[in-house]
Amino acid sequence: LNNQRQGESVEGAAKVPTMSLSKHKSNKSVISVGPWGGNGGSPWDDGDFKGIRQIVIVHAGAIDSIRIEYDKNGRSIWSDKHGGNGGDKTDKIVLDYPREHLTSMSGHYGSVSVGSACVIRSLTFHSNLRKFGPYGVENGTFFSFPMDGGKIKGFHGRSGWFLDSIGVHLSHNSQNTFWSTIKGSARNLLRS
């Protein structure tokens, strides 16, 4: 890497965050939102699953890595680790699956130090039963995608030495309500 950490720009300046909204390729009832954060590191996409059983988050001044245990028709499927090997603290979010599911995610992104890459600094998750986090440092640009009645079924983003960016794959039982909520949330994002 020529003495350069993956996810940092050549000049050392923060990367411009990105965000997009699209229907997921493999399942028309699932949409992909995001990612939020920087554009360093390499892209990854876990796809969409029946549900999420747990998330392992390693963090310090930023989110160093995440690893997710998904449910695929009753079988446990672990994602690759998304991020690097740093971090002083490890937290586990263990959901009461299948009764409990993640409904929304928020956090902060920005540079850890002057001239460093834009990465995910903090993450907070909400389920249909409770709140998890915040994990990491709540510093930088805030992002949020609240969903009434939504269900997070997978994650995507970019990672290198840190979790550079993160987005979600979402589903909803009622498609009309789902798309109305998505359009309203997207409008609110564009206004901020």
Instruction: For residue 75, count CB atoms less than 10 angstroms from its CB and return exposed for 0-12, middle for 13-18, buried for 19 or more.
Output: exposed
> Please, what are the domains in the chain?
21-191 (2.100.10.30)
For the entire predicted model, the pTM comes to: 0.79
Tens of pLDDT, residue by residue over 17-58, are 444 444 444 545 789 999 999 999 999 999 999 999 999 999
pLDDT value for 186: 52
Query: Phi, psi at residue 190, to the nearest 5°?
Result: -70, -30
- Taking CA 186 as the corner, what is the angle to CA 103 and CA 150, rounded to the nearest 5 degrees? 20
* Cα–Cα dist 179/156, whole Å: 20
pLDDT value for 13: 35
pLDDT value for 57: 99
Tens of pLDDT, residue by residue over 105-153, are 999 999 999 889 999 999 999 999 999 999 999 999 999 988 778 899 9
Among 185, 159, 182, 163, smallest CA distance to 172 is for 182
CB 149 within 8 A of CB 156: no
Per residue in 114-134, is it b (16+ CB within 10 Å) or e — as a string? eebbbbbbbbbbbbeeeebbb
What is the amino acid identity at position 135? Y
Among 123, 6, 109, smallest CA distance to 55 is for 123
Per residue in 78-90, is it b (16+ CB within 10 Å) or e — as a string? ebebbbbeebeee
Tens of pLDDT, residue by residue over 78-112, are 999 999 999 999 999 999 999 999 999 999 999 99
